[in-house]
Chains A and B, each alone.
Chain A
Amino acid sequence: MVGQVTDPAGGPSALRHAEEVMGTVVSFDVRGGEPGAVRTALEEAVAGLHRVDEVFSTYREDSQVSRLGRGDVTLEQCDQEVAEVLASGAEAERLSDGWFSTRYEGRIDPTGIVKGWAVERAARHLAASGADGVSVNGGGDVQMYGVPGPHRPWRVGIADPLRPGGLAAVVSAAGAAELAVATSGTAERGAHIVDPRTGRSAVTDLVAVTVVGPRLIWADAWATAAFAMGSRQALDWLESLPDVEALLITAGDEVRCTGGLAARLG
Chain B
Amino acid sequence: MHTLRRRSPLRRIVLASAATVTGTVLLLSMKPHTTPHIVTAAPAPSGSASVPAGSAGSGGSGADRSRGSAAAGTKTVTGDSAPTRYGPVQVRITVRNGKLTDVTAVTYPQENPRDQEINGYAVPQLRREALAAQSADIDVVSGATYTSQGYQQSLQSALDSMGG
Chain B contacts of A261 at CB under 8 A? none
| Chain A interface residue count, Cβ-Cβ cutoff 8 angstroms | 62
In the bound complex, do residue A135 and residue B139 qualify as a contact, i.e. CB atoms below 8 Å apart?
yes
- Residues of B whose CB lies within 8 Å of any CB of A are 20-21, 24, 31-32, 34-44, 46, 50, 53, 73, 97-98, 129-130, 132-133, 136-148, 150-151, 154-157, 159-161, 163-164
A sample of 18 cross-chain residue pairs with beta-carbon separation below 8 angstroms, ordered by A number, consists of A2-B160, A11-B43, A24-B151, A25-B157, A39-B40, A140-B156, A154-B139, A154-B140, A157-B140, A157-B142, A157-B155, A159-B144, A167-B133, A170-B138, A171-B142, A182-B142, A184-B144, A185-B143
Question: Smallest CB–CB gap between A135 and chain B, Å?
Answer: 5
In this assembly, does A1 line the interface, its C-beta being within 8 Å of a C-beta of chain B?
A: yes
In this assembly, does A233 line the interface, its C-beta being within 8 Å of a C-beta of chain B?
A: no
CA distance A15 to B160 in the complex (A): 11
- In-complex Cβ contact of B129 among A165, A181, A183 (8 A): A165
- In-complex Cβ contact of A140 among B41, B98, B129, B146 (8 A): B146
In the bound complex, do residue A5 and residue B39 qualify as a contact, i.e. CB atoms below 8 Å apart?
yes
Chain A contacts of B36 at CB under 8 A? 1-3
In the bound complex, do residue A7 and residue B98 qualify as a contact, i.e. CB atoms below 8 Å apart?
yes
- In-complex Cβ contact of B155 among A4, A159, A182 (8 A): A159
In the bound complex, do residue A188 and residue B156 qualify as a contact, i.e. CB atoms below 8 Å apart?
no
CA distance A210 to B151 in the complex (A): 19
Task: Say yes or no: A39-B38 contact (C-beta < 8 A), given A2-B160, A165-B24.
Answer: yes
Question: Smallest CB–CB gap between B48 and chain A, Å?
Answer: 10
Question: Smallest CB–CB gap between A251 and chain B, Å?
Answer: 14
Binds B, one of A87-95, A102-110, A141-149, A235-243: A141-149
Question: Smallest CB–CB gap between B88 and chain A, Å?
Answer: 22
In the bound complex, do residue A2 and residue B143 qualify as a contact, i.e. CB atoms below 8 Å apart?
no
Contact with B along A134-165 (1 / 0, CB 8 A): 01010111101000100000111111010011
In the bound complex, do residue B38 and residue A157 qualify as a contact, i.e. CB atoms below 8 Å apart?
no
